[in-house]
Amino acid sequence: MKIRRNTARILVLSAVLPLLGLWNCVAQERSEMRSAAGKYNQVLFYIDRLYLEDVALDSLVEQAIIATVGELDPHSAYISAKDVQAMNEPLQGEFEGIGIEFAIIRDTLTVQATVAGGPSERVGLLAGDKIIRVDSSDVGGIGLSNQDVYGLLRGPKGTKVRLSVLRKGVPEPLDFVVTRDRIPINSLDAAYKVGDDVLYLKLSRFAAKSRDEIVEAMRSFDGVIRGVILDLRSNSGGYLPTAIDIANEFLEKGDLIVYTEGRAIPRMQESANGNGLYREGPLVVMIDENSASASEIVAGAIQDQDRGIIVGRRSFGKGLVQQAIPLDDGSELRLTIARYHTPSGRVIQSPYEAGHADKYYMDFYERYLRGESFSKDSIQFPDSLKFRTLKEGRTVYGGGGIMPDVFVPQDTTSYSSYYAALLRQGLVIEYMNGLCDRNRRAWTSRYRSFEKFDRDFEVTDDMIGELVALAEERGVALDEAGLERSREDLRRYMKALAASSIVSRDCFYRVMNSGSPEFQAALEALREASLSRNALL
C-alpha cells in the first residue's frame, strides 16, 4: 500500500540505512566528520590510559551524547538502553504479561480489571482480588511500587507465574498459575454512541494498532454513522504512519494528507487512497494546547481539505519528524530528520532556537500567561503565516500549531488550588480506588449498564467528607472556599472514576464529557454541519 511503502522510507531505519550505506561511507565522504570523531576517540583514549583515577567510560560517553543532542532541536533525544522498552511499549501497542489492570490500595496489590480474553481472565482472576504472593515473594505490605509490579508480573510469553490471592467471601487464599501472553495496550480510550447516530472516539496516542482500533469501533457501531467526533485533546502524537492511516479513513482518494522534507531526506508526500470507512458525513476533530505532532497532522489534513471542523484551542506546534535509530548497546537516538507540512503548505512547528529547549518550552508556558487559552483575540498571526484551505479557500494559519475553526476558551471558573493539590497528589484516585474496592460486589450487581449508573449513582457529601479526611491525613489541609468552588468538578471526576472501575473504562469519558464545554461545542458544530449538509442535499 502506498501509505506504508513511502512512509517506511522515512521512518524504518533498518530499511533506510542499508540502502544509503549511511554509516559505512560517511567517514570517506566528510573529512569534517572523520576529524571530529577521531578527536573524540583520542580524548577517550588518553583518559583511559593516563587519567589519575579509574573512569567509567560508558558514563562519560552517555553524558557526551546527551550534551551533543541537547545542542540540536527540542525534540531530538537520546534514550538509554534501560529506558528504550518503557518508551516504546505504549506505541508498539502490546507487552507480555498476565493481563490485568491494577492499583496499589492500602499497600496491597489489587486487581482492578482483567484484560478481556487475557491470561488472567482465562484462569478466573476477578476484579477486587488482592494478590498477596507472586511465586515465592510476599508482596503485601512491603511498600510495593508500580515498577515493582511490572518486574514481578511481566515476562516472556509462555512463562508461568504463580499467584496467591485473597478474595472477599473466601476464607482461604486462592492459588492461580497464569501463563503470560501478549497483552494489547489500547490507544482508543473510549468509543461510544452519542445520541442515536454520532460516534465519539477518544484517541490517547498514535500507536501501531490505533487505526485498527478505530476501524473496529466504526464497523461495530450499532446503526448508521451520521457524525463522528474524533477527540485528540492531550494526544501528544506517536507514529507518523498511523497518523496517515487514520487521516486516510476520513478523506477522499487523492486528497493530500502530509508532505515531509529534510536536509538529507527528499520531499515525500502521502495522499488518501479512497478506501476510508467514513469519507463523507459530518466530522469534528477536537484539539487543545497539549495536542501535538501526529495529532496535528490529522487535524491539519482535515482542516486543509475542508473535510471537517476543528474545535478547541491552538495545538502545541510540533512539526518535526524523529527517526528512531537503535545503537549497538540497545540505546536509541531519536533524531529529527525532517519537518512536515500540512496539505496547504503550512509549517506547524513552533519557532525554536537550537540548543535552547528550556526557552522553547517556556515559550509554550507563556502562551498561557498571555491569555491564549482564554481569548482567541490574544493570538495574533502575521499575514505571512496565512494560508488557504484547498477546497473552500478559507483562511488558516501556520507558524506554530493548528488554530481551530471553533475556539473554546479554557474554563477555570471552578478551579481552585485545593482541588489542584488533591489531583497532584493522586488523592482522588486513591480514595476512589479504595471506595470501589470496598463496594465492588454490590455496585457491579446494581449498575449493570452505564445508563443505570449515570442515572442512579451519586457522589454523596459523605464520600467527599471521607476524601477530605484522607487528604488531611496526607498533609493537605482543608480549604473550604476552594472545596466549594470546585465541588461540582470534584463530584464529576469522582463519578467518572467510579464509572471506569465499576462499568467500563470508556465510561470515564462519558461522565467527564457531560460537563465539558469543548465537547458541547463539538456537538453543536456537528449539528450545524449536519443541517448544512442536509440543506445542500
Which residues are marked as active site? Answer: 293, 304, 318
**DSSP assignment of 290-347:** T--THHHHHHHHHHHTT-SEEEES------EEEEEEE-TTS-EEEEEEEEEE-TT--B
Q: Give dist(CA 7, CA 322) in Å, integer.
A: 12
Q: Give dist(CA 317, CA 407) in Å, integer.
A: 16
> 493 with 514: CB under 8 angstroms?
no
**Within a 13 Å sphere around the CA of 507, how many CA atoms are in the beta-carbon half?**
20
3-state secondary structure string, 502-530? HCCCCHHHHHHHCCCHHHHHHHHHHHHHH
Burial pattern 3-41, b for ≥16 Cβ within 10 A else e, equals beebbeebbebeebeeeeeeeeeeeeeeeeeeeeeeeee
Alpha-carbon torsion angle 47, 53, 59, 63, nearest 10:
-60
Residue 130: strand, helix, or coil:
strand
C-alpha cell at 219: 464497523
C-alpha cell at 93: 501497542
